[in-house]
Amino acid sequence: MSAPDQLPLPELDAHAIDVEEFRAYTPEKFELLDGYLFDTRQHTESRRRLLHLLLVNVGLLEAVRLAPEERWREALQRVYET
Amino acid, res. 55: L
pLDDT digits (tens, 9 = 90+) for 21-80: 898 888 888 888 889 888 888 888 888 888 999 999 999 999 999 999 999 999 999 999
Decide if 30 contacts 50 (C-beta within 8 A): no
- pTM value? 0.80
How far apart CA 38 and CA 46 sit, in angstroms, is: 7
Decide if 51 contacts 7 (C-beta within 8 A): no
